[in-house]
Structure 1
Amino acid sequence: MKVGVIMGGVSSEREVSFMTGMQMIAQLDRSKYEPVPIVISKREDLVGIVEGIDFALLALHGVYGEDGTVQGTLETLGIPYSGSGVLSSSLCLDKDLSKRLLRAEGIPTPDWLCWTGPDEYAPEEVEERLGYPVFVKPNRGGSSIGMQLAADRHSLRMAVREAFRWDRSIVVEQHIEGDELTCSILNGELLPVVGVRPAHSGWFNYQAKYEEGAADERVIVLPAELEARVRDTALTCYRLLKCSVYARIDIMLQDGIPYVLEVNTLPGMTATSLLPKSAQAAGISFDRLLSLIIEYSLQERKRERTVTCHE
Structure 2
Amino acid sequence: MQVGVIMGGISAEKEVSVNTGKQIIENLNKDKYEIVPILINNKYDFIDSVKSIQFVFIALHGKFGEDGRIQAILESLGVPYSGCGVLASALCMDKNLSKKLFASEGIKTPKWIIVKDENKIDYSIIDNIGYPIIVKPNSGGSSIGTIIAYSREEVKDGVCEALKYDNEIVIEEYIKGEEITCPILNGEVLPVISINPKSEFFNYSSKYDNGGAEEKIIELPIAIREKVEQISLKCWNTFKLKVYARIDMIIKDEEVYVLEINTLPGMTENSLFPKSANAYGLNFSQLLDKIIQYSLIE
TM-score, scaled relative to structure 1: 0.94
State whether structure 2 residue 159 is matched by structure 1 residue 170: no
Amino acid at match of 2:72: G
- Kept in 1, the 8 Å contact 2:118–2:156? The answer is no
1:116 and 1:65 mapped to 2: Cα distance? 23
State the match for 2:157 in structure 1. 158
State the match for 2:43 in structure 1. 43
1:4 and 1:154 mapped to 2: Cα distance? 47
- Kept in 1, the 8 Å contact 2:51–2:79? The answer is no
Alpha-carbon displacement from aligned partner over 1:121-162 (angstroms, at most 9, x marks no partner): 22232112x111111000000000011111111211111111
Structure 2 portions without partners, runs of 5+: none
State the match for 2:136 in structure 1. 137
- Kept in 1, the 8 Å contact 2:269–2:284? The answer is no
Alpha-carbon displacement from aligned partner over 1:195-219 (angstroms, at most 9, x marks no partner): 00013x1111111111222111000
RMSD of aligned residue pairs (Cα, Å): 0.9
Amino acid at match of 2:176: E
2:152 and 2:117 mapped to 1: Cα distance? 18
Look up the SS of the partner of 2:46 in the other structure.
Answer: helix
State the match for 2:238 in structure 1. 240
1:208 and 1:277 mapped to 2: Cα distance? 16
**How many aligned residue pairs are there?**
298
Q: How does 1:211-230 map to 2 (within 5 A)?
A: 211-230=209-228
Q: How does 1:179-190 map to 2 (within 5 A)?
A: 179-190=178-189
> How much has 1:46 moved relative to structure 2?
2.7
User: Once superposed, which parts of structure 1, at least 4 consecutive aligned residues long, lie more than 6 Å away?
Assistant: none
> How much has 1:52 moved relative to structure 2?
2.4
Q: How does 1:22-41 map to 2 (within 5 A)?
A: 22-41=22-41
2:186 and 2:214 mapped to 1: Cα distance? 27
1:120 and 1:230 mapped to 2: Cα distance? 37
> How much has 1:120 moved relative to structure 2?
2.6
> How much has 1:299 moved relative to structure 2?
0.4
1:138 and 1:105 mapped to 2: Cα distance? 24
Look up the SS of the partner of 1:30 in the other structure.
Answer: coil
Percent identical: 51
**Residues 153/118 of structure 1: CA separation in 2 closer, same or farther (3 Å cut):** closer
Alpha-carbon displacement from aligned partner over 1:68-115 (angstroms, at most 9, x marks no partner): 110010011010000000000000000000100010010000000011
> How much has 1:34 moved relative to structure 2?
1.4
> How much has 1:51 moved relative to structure 2?
2.9
1:257 and 1:239 mapped to 2: Cα distance? 21
2:258 and 2:242 mapped to 1: Cα distance? 18
Q: How does 1:47-66 map to 2 (within 5 A)?
A: 47-66=47-66
State the match for 1:195 in structure 2. 194
> How much has 1:177 moved relative to structure 2?
1.0
TM-score, scaled relative to structure 2: 0.98
1:203 and 1:272 mapped to 2: Cα distance? 19
- Kept in 2, the 8 Å contact 1:211–1:272? The answer is no
Alpha-carbon displacement from aligned partner over 1:229-255 (angstroms, at most 9, x marks no partner): 010011111111110000000000011
Structure 1 portions without partners, runs of 5+: 301-311
State the match for 1:266 in structure 2. 264
1:123 and 1:21 mapped to 2: Cα distance? 42
1:289 and 1:190 mapped to 2: Cα distance? 14
Tell me which of 268, 283, 296 is aligned to 1:285: 283
1:231 and 1:280 mapped to 2: Cα distance? 19
1:120 and 1:231 mapped to 2: Cα distance? 39
Question: Which 10-residue stretch deviates more, 289-298 or 33-42?
Answer: 33-42
